[in-house]
């Protein structure tokens, strides 16, 4: 068995103080989320998602597509799709989301989600360190599953627009996890690759999952500030839990008020 993981970012990598803070208010969480699919199911899953996307968003494809892109290149980002208004108003969105969860589970796939709860802005870790910590933890989580299954896996990330130095640091960290760490990630066949999401239906779906899980995670982290986001957990929280990769969770790391990043420890789920 061989799996492929498709991962994208949710939340925001920068500091956070409060939702009403004039500067640091974007998101109290940051992480990577997406899907893990058996390699022999990837093509059919991409077709399944593509057809549902075209049906669900037919009006947007026709009227919100100024460049007249073909449907396979046209994206509707998860952050724009999963809004409070959309999930309450459009039953078709709720039903399509549930169908995708059920189909993912039926082919032996999983939702993957690893993230951090941020503390104070003044002691936030550098973005590169935070991203690297979350990425390595996600790889370790998938590796544990694959080793139990006597399987291997590869990771495809949505393309990062942060320059070659950023990419090299992340790849080097993953290579270390593969070959030099005490607990080597033996099931990972290559360091993560990057790809353009507008060319991959699977990465587009990973982005949808990030739009949804990012909101559920923010509400779980700061329910007093994100009370208007309860509908995301109410409508989709159980479905995400049912599809989660064992050991995964929506907010699984907690950063102390320190520059030091701790060893990841799994805790809460959806």
Q: Which DSSP helix (H) or strand (E) runs through 136? A: helix 127-148
Task: Report pLDDT for 54.
Answer: 95
Residue bearing the bigger pLDDT, 141 or 170? 141
Task: Report pLDDT for 126.
Answer: 67
Task: Report pLDDT for 18.
Answer: 81
Query: Mean of the per-residue pLDDT values for the chain?
Result: 84
Most confident of 7-21, 31-45, 60-74: 31-45
Task: Report pLDDT for 95.
Answer: 97
Residue bearing the bigger pLDDT, 226 or 118? 226
Task: Report pLDDT for 125.
Answer: 63
Token pair in block for residue 89: 């108003």
pLDDT at residue 98 tops 80: yes
Residue % of the chain over a pLDDT of 90? 53
pLDDT at residue 255 tops 70: no
pLDDT at residue 47 tops 60: yes
Residue bearing the bigger pLDDT, 11 or 122? 11
Per DSSP, the three-state class of 84 is helix
Long-range contacts, stretch 64-73, CB < 8 angstroms, 24+ apart: 69/198, 72/199, 72/201, 73/198, 73/199
């Amino acid at each position: 068995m061989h799996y492929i993981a498709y991962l994208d970012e949710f939340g925001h990598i920068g500091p956070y103080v409060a939702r009403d803070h004039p500067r640091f208010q974007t998101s109290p969480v940051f992480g990577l989320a997406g899907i893990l699919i058996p390699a022999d199911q990837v093509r059919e899953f991409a077709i399944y998602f593509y057809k549902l996307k075209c049906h669900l968003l037919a009006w947007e494809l026709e009227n919100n597509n100024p460049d007249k892109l073909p449907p396979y290149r046209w994206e509707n980002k998860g952050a724009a799709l999963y809004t409070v208004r959309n999930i309450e108003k459009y039953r078709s969105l709720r039903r399509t989301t549930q169908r995708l969860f059920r189909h993912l589970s039926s082919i032996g796939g999983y939702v993957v989600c690893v993230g951090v709860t941020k503390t104070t802005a003044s002691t936030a870790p550098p973005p590169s360190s935070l991203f690297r910590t979350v990425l390595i933890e996600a790889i370790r989580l998938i590796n544990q599953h694959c080793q139990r299954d006597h399987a291997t896996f590869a990771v495809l990330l949505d393309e990062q627009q942060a320059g070659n130095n950023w990419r090299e640091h992340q790849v080097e960290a993953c290579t270390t996890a593969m070959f030099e760490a005490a607990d080597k990630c033996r099931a990972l066949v290559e360091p993560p690759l990057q790809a353009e999401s507008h060319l991959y239906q699977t990465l587009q779906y990973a982005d949808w999952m990030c739009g949804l899980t990012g909101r559920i995670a923010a509400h779980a982290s700061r329910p007093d500030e994100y009370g208007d986001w309860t509908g995301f957990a109410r409508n989709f929280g159980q479905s995400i839990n049912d599809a989660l990769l064992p050991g995964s969770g929506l907010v699984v790391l907690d950063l102390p008020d320190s520059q030091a990043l701790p060893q990841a420890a799994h805790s809460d789920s959806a």
